[in-house]
């Protein structure tokens, strides 16, 4: 199918456009088990546009009448016009327009994309596939350029084109590795996000995990996890109690300390899924003598900002609430916890969205931690970390922010057997959960993350540990980002790689705490220890 896929097939082919078979997938050193795609139900086939591949992210309802189809097409075109209008899209218009008009179709971007490579070079996964469909629609139906069909190639616009384009925007991790290699400066990652934006902001179509359960929940309750301020404080208090016992060091996490130097902004998912991360931060910051606090204000305790993946309005609302919480506490700076997209959303993107007078300076926790570790304020015994460690670079913090060295300085100091993955730093590959997928599970999304999007990361991990694979040697995958950890956890679990290879995964702070002399030994647990 890959050999014969044409761009206009998105408009003409009935039923599912492509299917990725197990035999298409490249092999990796780690023994990754293929998760068979669950067939779509008859109900889904009848009523939902699950017509791109084996996955369905958006559940777009199939139009049932020609009028409904016409309405969908018109709404889509209206949205597209708004994307190219300054008042509606001042945030991204120059990047979008230049990416629309300057691509020379060299497809250099294909080789850079982990999804293209790990799908067995399926044409649908070329970063330029969705971009070029989008360009052709724009030139033919919105700009109505003379000879558009001849100049840019033809595309038909109907409900199938729109539904598939919407889905295609969610077959990209927005890691922007493709943009990094483009000789012209075209950004297919940006185009994918702009299509997501169009669907969300005009058609009201978005993945529920990002919108209803994500940003809307965060604005309504205070956190995308559903935790309100009281629950957060209670949970953190339990964590303090538990980990005081585990570590042998009294941990007290401050909330709402007016005038503290630092407001630490965690991804609230850590509180539920990785309490050891919360405890580690508290322990390190207290031990280093920092003046710091968490906020108990709704939104102010959850650094998550899924708006950065799909919707400018939601992005701005959440970033504004983060800044407001810090302003109200009167802190000197926000330190962002181990969450890649939170780093980029509040530091880089919010920088030109939130008025300067509402802004509070933001710093990455990798930087703060580097200074603590290097200053000698903690008594560290690196021999406690005498196992192989490799580092995953979250795209948002590394390729998109240039925060590369601080986390390495720490690892070189505390992990004697630290080794890099192949293609590390700004050349790194996405974990496969980037741009929201780490929290999605419906309609074969789990299968997709395991079979396809996370495959390159597993290749990197296998290569990094190629000299010590197997159950004999304990190994640690340091992934200082909540979403990346979630994705890596799923991959390891499904193929039973914890046991087969004695892997543990976690953040940077856990590794620091693991080698603190005043902490009980064995803070990091491997399968058999738990």
The footprint of other proteins on residues 80-139 (CB under 8 A) is 82, 86-88, 90-95, 97-98, 101-108, 110-112, 123, 128, 132
DSSP string, 57-107: SS-PBPP-SHHHHHHHHHHHHHHHHHHT-HHHHTTTHHHHHHHHH------
Q: Report the C-alpha gap between 2 and 13 in whole angstroms.
A: 14
73 binds other proteins (CB under 8 A): no
Q: Report the C-alpha gap between 480 and 461 in whole angstroms.
A: 15
Binding-site member from 404, 413, 471, 527 for other proteins (CB under 8 A): 404
Backbone angles phi, psi at 174, to 5 degrees: 55, 35
Q: Report the C-alpha gap between 77 and 72 in whole angstroms.
A: 9
423 binds other proteins (CB under 8 A): no
- Cβ(56)–Cβ(163) under 8 Å? no
Binding-site member from 12, 41, 64, 405 for other proteins (CB under 8 A): 405
DSSP string, 108-147: HHHHH-HHHHHTTS-GGG-HHHHHHHHHHHIIIIIS--TT
Spatial strand order in the sheet of 362-364: 292-293, 262-265, 333-336, 362-364
In this chain, which stretch among 176-184, 413-421, 464-472, 480-488 interacts with other proteins, using CB under 8 A? 176-184
For the bound state, the minimum distance from the C-beta of residue 441 to other proteins, rounded and expressed in Å, comes to 23
Binding-site member from 354, 452, 488, 511 for other proteins (CB under 8 A): 354
In this chain, which stretch among 2-10, 27-35, 37-45, 474-482 interacts with other proteins, using CB under 8 A? 2-10
Binding-site member from 21, 38, 46, 151 for other proteins (CB under 8 A): 151
Scan residues 274-313 and list those touching other proteins (CB under 8 A).
311, 313
77 binds other proteins (CB under 8 A): no
412 binds other proteins (CB under 8 A): no
CA-nearest of 4, 6, 170, 140 to 73 is: 140
Binding-site member from 24, 69, 371, 446 for other proteins (CB under 8 A): 371
| Residue with smaller CB distance to other proteins, 46 or 151 | 151
In this chain, which stretch among 34-42, 202-210, 234-242, 267-275 interacts with other proteins, using CB under 8 A? 202-210
Scan residues 426-445 and list those touching other proteins (CB under 8 A).
426
For the bound state, the minimum distance from the C-beta of residue 364 to other proteins, rounded and expressed in Å, comes to 6
| Residue with smaller CB distance to other proteins, 110 or 451 | 110
Binding-site member from 61, 120, 153, 416 for other proteins (CB under 8 A): 153
For the bound state, the minimum distance from the C-beta of residue 199 to other proteins, rounded and expressed in Å, comes to 9
Binding-site member from 353, 413, 500, 525 for other proteins (CB under 8 A): 353
3-state secondary structure 242-308: HHHHHHCCCCCCCECCCCCCEEEECCCHHHHHCHHHHHHHHHHHHHCCCCEEECCCCCCCCCCCCHH
Q: In the 8-state DSSP scheme, what is residue 209?
A: T
């Amino acid at each position: 199918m890959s050999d014969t896929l044409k761009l206009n097939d998105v408009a003409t082919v009935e039923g599912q456009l492509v299917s990725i078979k197990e035999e298409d997938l490249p092999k990796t050193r780690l023994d990754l088990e293929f998760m068979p795609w669950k067939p779509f139900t008859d109900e889904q086939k009848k009523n939902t546009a699950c017509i791109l591949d084996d996955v369905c992210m958006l559940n777009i309802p199939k139009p049932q009448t020609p009028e409904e189809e016409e309405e969908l097409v018109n709404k889509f075109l209206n949205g597209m016009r708004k994307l190219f209008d300054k008042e509606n899209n001042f945030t991204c218009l120059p990047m979008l327009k230049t990416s629309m008009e300057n691509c020379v179709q060299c497809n250099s971007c294909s080789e850079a994309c982990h999804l293209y490579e790990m799908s067995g070079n399926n044409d649908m996964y070329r970063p330029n596939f969705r971009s070029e469909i989008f360009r052709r629609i724009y030139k033919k139906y919105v700009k109505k350029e003379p000879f558009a069909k001849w100049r840019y190639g033809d595309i038909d616009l109907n409900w199938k084109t729109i539904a598939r384009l919407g889905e295609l925007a969610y077959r990209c991790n927005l890691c922007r590795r493709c943009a990094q290699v483009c000789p012209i400066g075209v950004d297919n990652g940006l185009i994918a996000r702009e299509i997501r934006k169009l669907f969300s902001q005009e058609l009201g179509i978005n993945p529920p995990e990002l919108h209803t359960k994500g940003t809307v929940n965060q604005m309504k309750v205070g956190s995308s996890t559903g935790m309100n301020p009281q629950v957060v404080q209670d949970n953190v208090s339990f964590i303090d109690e538990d980990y005081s016992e585990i570590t042998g060091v009294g941990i007290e996490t401050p909330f709402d300390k007016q005038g503290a130097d630092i407001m630490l902004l965690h991804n609230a998912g850590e509180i539920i899924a990785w309490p050891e991360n919360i405890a580690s931060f508290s322990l390190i910051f207290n031990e280093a003598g920092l003046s710091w606090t968490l906020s108990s204000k709704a939104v102010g305790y959850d650094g998550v900002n899924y708006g950065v993946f799909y919707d400018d309005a939601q992005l701005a609302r959440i970033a504004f609430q983060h800044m407001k919480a810090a302003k109200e506490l009167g802190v000197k700076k926000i330190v962002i916890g181990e969450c890649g997209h939170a780093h980029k959303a509040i530091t880089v993107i919010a920088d030109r969205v939130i008025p300067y007078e509402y802004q509070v300076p933001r710093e990455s926790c990798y930087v703060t931690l580097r200074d603590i570790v290097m200053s000698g304020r903690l008594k560290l015994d690196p021999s406690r970390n005498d196992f192989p460690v490799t580092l995953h670079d979250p795209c948002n913090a590394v390729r998109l922010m240039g925060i590369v060295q601080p986390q390495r300085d720490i690892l070189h100091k505390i992990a004697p057997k630290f080794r890099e993955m192949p293609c590390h730093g700004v050349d790194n590959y996405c974990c496969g959960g980037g741009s929201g997928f780490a929290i999605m599970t419906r309609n074969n999304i789990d299968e997709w993350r395991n079979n396809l999007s996370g495959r390159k990361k597993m290749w990197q991990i296998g290569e990094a540990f190629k000299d010590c694979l197997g159950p004999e040697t304990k190994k640690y995958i340091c992934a200082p980002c909540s979403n990346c950890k979630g994705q890596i956890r799923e991959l390891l679990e499904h193929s039973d790689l914890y046991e087969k290879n004695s892997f543990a995964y976690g953040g940077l702070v856990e590794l620091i705490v693991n080698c603190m002399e005043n902490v009980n030994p064995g803070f990091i647990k491997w399968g058999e220890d738990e």
